[in-house]
Amino acid sequence: MENNPLELDRPVTSKRKFKELLLQKDNQFCADCNAAQPKWASANIGVFLCFKCYNVHRSLNTHVSRVLPLGDEWSDDDIDAMVEVGGNSSANSIYEAYIPEGYAKPSPDASQEERTKFIRAKYEYQEFLKPSLRIVSSKYHQARKNGRVYRKVAGESD
Ligand SMILES: [Zn+2]
């Protein structure tokens, strides 16, 4: 993003934009499973989440996903991060850009296992990202070669 010349105005503007984000149609449903009325969000990813997906995100490293309840008081940085992404549709256009044809996303009542597998593939391993944007470690590529894509790589810090 460009430097905002109206830096002093930033928190107010961001808060207003954040309120608009909450009202956006795409943000009325969980970014990962489409459940209605998500009450949580991942600030660094910029997606709105249902409780079940929030629980999976919470189990990820916070540098992968930093989850917060929408009802909490948010810091300006977290608000800015959400506003910058622009909501679920924008985030999914990146994180699900290369989702394989015929691949079914989890439904609102998907099992914990299915949900976890999808969420880790989507954000932690970034499997559906445009290939040039992927920033995964060599450990991951090794794991993938060994067919252990979804499982935790031994020695990986948490
Ligand atoms: Zn969900």
| Domain boundaries along the sequence of the chain | 7-130
Is the CB of residue 108 less than 8 Å from the CB of residue 50? yes
CA separation for the pair 94, 107 (Å, rounded): 20
Q: How far is the CA of 128 from the centre of ligand 1 (A)?
A: 18
How far, in Å, from the CA of 99 to the mean position of ligand 1?
17
Q: What is the pLDDT along the chain (158 residues), one digit of tens a residue?
A: 455 555 555 567 888 999 999 999 999 999 999 999 999 999 999 999 999 999 999 999 999 999 999 999 999 999 999 999 999 999 999 999 999 988 999 999 999 999 999 999 999 999 999 777 776 554 555 555 554 444 444 444 44
Superfamily of the domain at 7-130: Arf GTPase activating protein (1.10.220.150)
DSSP 75: P
Say how many Å lie between the CA of residue 53 and the centre of ligand 1.
Answer: 4
76, 11 in Cβ contact below 8 A?
yes
Largest CA distance in the chain: 52
Residue 152 is predicted with a pLDDT of: 42
pLDDT at 52: 98
In the reported structure, the alpha carbon of residue 83 is separated from the centroid of ligand 1 by a whole-number distance in angstroms of 20
What's the Rg (C-alpha) of the chain? 16
Distance CA 74, CA 68 (A): 8
Cα(55) to centroid of ligand 1, in Å?
A: 9
Ligand 1 midpoint to CA 108 (Å): 6
Quick check: 128 and 99 in contact, CB under 8 A? yes
Å from CA of 4 to ligand 1 middle = 34
Q: Quick check: 42 and 69 in contact, CB under 8 A?
A: no
Task: Copy the structure tokens of residue 125.
Answer: 């391993």
Query: Could you identify the residue written with the tokens 């099992």?
Result: 111
Ligand 1 centroid from CA 48, angstroms: 9
Written as six digits, the tokens of 51 are: 């409780």
- State residue 136's pLDDT score: 57
What is the 45 CA–ligand 1 centroid distance (Å)?
14
Neighbours of ion ligand 1 (CB under 5 A): 30, 32-33, 35, 50, 53
Instruction: Take residue 147 and report the two structure tokens written for it.
Output: 């067919």
